[in-house]
Amino acid sequence: MTKKVLKFGGTSVGSIERIKLVADIISNEHKKGYKLIIVLSAMSGITNSLISKSKKISENFDARELDVLLSTGEQESISLLAGALVSKGLKAKSWLNWQIPILTSGEHGNARIINLSKEKINKFLDSGGIAVLPGFQGISENGDITTTGRGGSDATAVAIAKLFETDTCEIFTDVDGIYSSDPNKIPVAKKIDKISYEEMLELSSLGAKVMQPSAVQTAMMYQIPLHVKSTFTNREGTKIFSEESINYDKVVTGVAYSKDEAKITLQGVDDKPGVAADIFSPLSEKQINIDMVIQNISLDGKKTDLTFTVKRSDLRKSTDLIKKNKKIKFSNLSFNEKVSKISVVGAGMVATPGVTYKMFKALAEEKINILAISTSEIKISVIINEDDTLKAIKKLHSEFKLD
């Protein structure tokens, strides 16, 4: 009998009516003979509400207690769904993270699943039962409740699919699948029927919010087929699997953007071996991720200007660390937090010359200035002024015939 993981996001279980709809979907899958493991997020808005409550206590609410607080969201949703399934005459049961248990490692708020006990779940599945499990959370080796970061229910679903060796992992959300760009901003954005792990990883890392990057990475590592589909329509959705299985009709698959960017520039830095390491070492120790890096060396070869980008939320922390860093000298520190990152992604770019030229020409035609550039085999990203974001993604969407 085929084993499946079905994961439902917060909007899919955002009300009692929607929970009943999810129960109908699960019931139909169960009638087809599948063994089902269900993974749920908290009801939409609940996690934000809990965070808001914690901030009314303290802006520096204890990390351990925040995980305890946030984990209550999934307890509510799994209980309501299991109850809905039982009321339909199905054998269903919810488990909290510590009842399984779902074992994690790492710090509070950013833990990762390393293992879980399968015996009780498998026994329940073999008896015809439907297992309803919480996403986003686990328990540490010393018994503390942990969470895996915002959007972590996707990572939970993929980890469970790996550990239970299921045939597929289906991610149910409020959109019909993966689109060539944000359909809320670009109404002519096209739904992508099939996409490679590599492309999906780039898109999710670059701001596409349909799937969490770590979940895509895990699926890619263990070759777990993913299927993103809507809870509310019967459209086929988007299948995510290995690159060899994709037939590329377009060089560029999608255009992604992120407004969560800030640009930092250090001018007049000594141009000598190890200076970049000295700049970035304190940032690394504080878990600040550096994205794009550009270095311009002066004509005399003695000084350099260094520009790099960080998440906007890390800007103040980054500049404070640089100012306190006694190992480096510079003449000026400047920053710009009103920037966004625009990216074109496509595995077909590897074998197609001229994509960079087309992208830069298209932006130039719209008089959009490029502030920084980063490339990989299947991605080109640029930093531009935030006010030009919508104009840029519309132009690139049209330029690469994604409408």
- Can you give the pLDDT at residue 79? 98
Determine, yes or no, domain membership for 331: no
The pTM of this model reads 0.79
Nearest to 317 by CA among 274, 284, 294, 341: 284
Q: Is residue 25 part of a domain?
A: yes
Helix axes 63-70, 72-87, angle to 10 degrees: 20
Q: Is residue 394 part of a domain?
A: no
Q: Which 3-state string (H, E, C) describes the chain?
A: CCEEEEEECCCCCCCHHHHHHHHHHHHHHHHCCCEEEEEECCCCCHHHHHHHHHHHHCCCCCHHHHHHHHCHHHHHHHHHHHHHHHHCCCCEEECCHHHCCEEEECCCCCCEEEEECCHHHHHHHHCCCEEEEECCEEECCCCCEEECCCCHHHHHHHHHHHHCCCCEEEEEECCCCEECCCCCCCCCCCEECEEEHHHHHHHHHCCCCCCCHHHHHHHHHHCCCEEEEECCCCCCCEEEECHHHCCCCCCCCEEEEEEEEEEEEEEEEECCCCHHHHHHHHHHHCCCCCCCEEEEECCCCCEEEEEEEEEHHHHHHHHHHHHHCCCCCCCEEEEEEEEEEEEEECHHHHHCCCHHHHHHHHHHHCCCCCCEEEEECCEEEEEEEHHHHHHHHHHHHHHCCCC
Q: Is residue 230 part of a domain?
A: no
Please list the pLDDT of the chain residue by residue as tens digits (403 residues).
689 999 999 999 999 999 999 999 999 999 999 999 999 999 999 999 999 999 999 999 999 999 999 999 999 999 999 999 999 999 999 999 999 999 999 989 989 899 999 999 999 999 999 999 999 999 999 999 999 987 789 999 999 999 999 988 999 998 888 888 888 778 888 888 888 888 888 887 766 667 888 888 888 888 899 999 999 998 889 999 876 655 556 788 888 888 888 999 999 988 888 888 999 999 999 889 888 888 877 666 678 888 999 999 899 999 999 999 988 989 999 999 999 999 898 877 877 888 899 999 999 999 999 988 888 888 899 999 999 999 999 999 999 888 7
Tell whether 261 is covered by a domain: no
| pLDDT at res. 27 | 97
> Which is nearest to 166 in space by CA: 131, 136, 193, 209?
131
Domain count, the chain: 1
Q: Confirm whether 154 is domain-assigned.
A: yes
Q: Which residue range forms the structural domain that includes residue 115? A: 3-174
Among residues 134, 100, 106, 135, the alpha carbon closest in space to that of 119 is found at 100
Nearest CA-CA partner of 127 in 91, 88, 160, 101 = 91
Q: Does a structural domain hold residue 385?
A: no
CATH number at residue 108: 3.40.1160.10
Which residue, 11, 235, 7, is CA-closest to 131?
Answer: 7
**Domain for residue 275, yes or no?**
no
